[in-house]
Amino acid sequence: MDNRKKKTLGVALTATLAFSLTACTSSSNTTTSQAGTTATTATATGASASPSKMDTSEFQTISYVMLGDKPKNGQFEKVMEKVNAILKQKANAKLEIKWVEWADWQTKYNLLLASGEPVDLITVATDWLDTWQNAQKGAFMPLDKLLPTYAPLTWNEVPPENWAETKYKNQIMLIPEDHYTQWVNHGFLYRGDWAKEFGITTPIKDWETMGKYFQGVKDKKPGVVPWDANGTAAGNIGGYINSYTDAIELPVNTGLFNLIYGKSYDQKYTAYSPIFDSTFVDFAKLMKDWGDKGFWREDVLNYKGDNRAELEAGKSSVDQHHTQTFLGERIKMDKLQPGSDLQFFPFSATRNNLVSMSITHGGTSIGAKSKHPERALMVYELIRQDPEVYHLMNYGLEGVQYVMKDGKRFRPDGYDVQRDDFYSNFWGGRTDKNEIPDGTDWVGKGALYASYDKIKKPFPYGRFVFDKAAVSNELTAITQIVGQMAPAILYGKAGDPEKAVNDFRTKLKAAGYDKLQAEVQKQLDAFKTTVESSK
């Protein structure tokens, strides 16, 4: 984006915010607009508000809860200094990031939201950050009346059908990251050079071939842990279910991993658990085999190291994560491990079971106890809509973190990742229109995306909100059992796999699993009726 376009949109956005601060229109019609909406269009749907409620004369500090480890090289502070200078000028506000670090992140995040602390902006996600559960606990402020006035560009940018997927009890609980193209389907990142060395000449598409790859590493790469897995993670079971069933995970949180799925895309309203059929037994046997062969550390259940860092250092042969991570790591590995030819085995490749990402995989909410919700939305609007602020939050300082060439981003000469790296982990409102293409993107990215587009199915549960009230006690007990018993099964440390699985199932049943699944089915039936009646 050239400077003239940046300036034009920046002026339009500033005018929009200024106009909305004095607007007192009462229209509440919702319209969908394109990028670059003018101030007049954006405020045409402004909510009724009195000027006194929109006074920005008081300088306010806005907090933003982000997931991730706080950067330690000083670059983050330099970027935020620039961001806050702009925010002071345009919204008389300052942004402070409140980090929820990765160590025990899920517990810390949910405790923060349950504490009642008056945080302002909050990174949310309905599929991995318990958004609906937290909404049921009253963690978020309804945004319906605030958005048209304090974030008018975003209000118009998000179409009505997308706003519908952000509602709990018919109130908007979050702003979706619905205008950003990404794939977060999971799989194994593995070294293509080593795979060829072990006689694996075609892309890996199943777990049996992945086992052959691991055995090659074990036999021929001394000092390398085939999969230096973190024993607190549970991506392997979800991945295996994705590879060997047609099941689609439901947004019903049962702790370390989810137990209840929709049977298939054609039977999306039928509650089903692969934990209670042969799928989980087959998985447990494979993990026992892999563990016995030494594909991970003997003390895997106590290991909390950084698998990705080990891959980058040549000390591990895989990492388990999603497509977007693979695309970034592909570039890094080309530099850190020249010739590694990093490849990706998406779990969906085994049987083409690929569902598009929910538009609420990323989003932003306002804390229920926020003292400055109006100003918080103004700040959010600037981060999402103002190109200058957006580029700072996502890329850092031009000339330090990146340089521009032919409309694309490149690393500056002499860039040092330890010294110069920057991230803000803003995952709650990225938009394609404000992205600057990465000039170092992997050349195969387009083909990979195209292969996904050929087989993807739309996510069917965007508007399904599970109400746990009727099974709250059972859900608590089941979540505890999953956390206590499952890790040993997931990494082959529970003894005989069949016995371990049967014991696990028995405990789940005793805790009320059947009642839980019946309640899920009841709510799916009601959801199906609602969906079909709206067609």
Domain ranges across the chain: 3-180+359-434, 229-304+467-535
Residue 463, pLDDT score:
85
The token duo for 184 is 């977060």
Instruction: Compute the distance between CA of residue 392 and CA of residue 369 in angstroms, rounded to an integer.
Output: 28
- DSSP codes of every residue in 252-286: ---SSS---EES-STTTTSEE-GGGSHHHHHHHHH
The token duo for 207 is 């777990």
Question: Regarding the domain with residue range 3-180+359-434, which homologous superfamily does it belong to in the CATH classification?
Answer: Periplasmic binding protein-like II (3.40.190.10)
For the CA atoms of 415, 421, 427, 431, what is the dihedral angle to 10 degrees?
A: -20
| Angle between helix 278-292 and 207-220 (nearest 10) | 10
3-state secondary structure of 141: coil
Instruction: Compute the distance between CA of residue 190 and CA of residue 178 in angstroms, rounded to an integer.
Output: 30
Sheet of 60-67, strands arranged across: 93-100, 60-67, 121-124, 363-366, 175-176
3-state secondary structure of 223: coil
Q: What is the pTM of this model?
A: 0.78
Instruction: Compute the distance between CA of residue 269 and CA of residue 57 in angstroms, rounded to an integer.
Output: 52
CA Rg value for the chain: 24
The token duo for 22 is 């004095």
Rounded to whole angstroms, the maximal C-alpha distance in the chain is: 73
3-state secondary structure of 431: strand
**What's CA 69's distance to the chain center, in Å?**
16
Tokens 């958004």 correspond to 131
Measure the CA angle with vertex 491, ends 489 and 495; round to 5°: 50
pLDDT in tens, the chain (535 residues): 443 334 334 434 444 444 343 333 222 332 222 222 222 223 323 333 333 356 899 999 999 999 999 999 999 999 999 999 999 999 999 999 999 999 889 889 999 999 999 999 999 999 889 899 899 999 999 999 999 999 999 999 999 999 999 999 999 999 999 999 899 999 999 999 999 999 999 999 999 999 999 999 999 999 999 999 988 889 999 999 999 999 999 989 899 999 999 999 999 999 999 999 999 999 999 999 999 999 999 999 999 889 999 999 999 999 999 999 999 999 999 999 999 999 999 999 999 999 998 899 999 999 999 999 999 999 999 999 999 999 999 999 999 999 999 999 999 999 998 899 999 999 999 999 999 999 989 999 999 999 999 999 999 998 898 999 999 999 999 999 999 999 999 999 999 999 999 999 999 999 999 999 999 999 999 999 988 887 6
Instruction: Compute the distance between CA of residue 240 and CA of residue 282 in angstroms, rounded to an integer.
Output: 10
* Long-range Cβ contact pairs of 196-205 (< 8 A, separation 24 or more): 196/341, 203/343, 203/345, 203/349, 204/343, 204/345, 205/345, 205/349, 205/350
Which residues lie closer than 8 Å to 93 by C-beta, 6 or more apart?
Answer: 56, 59, 60, 61, 62, 87, 372, 375, 378, 379
The token duo for 316 is 């591990």
Instruction: Compute the distance between CA of residue 365 and CA of residue 266 in angstroms, rounded to an integer.
Output: 33
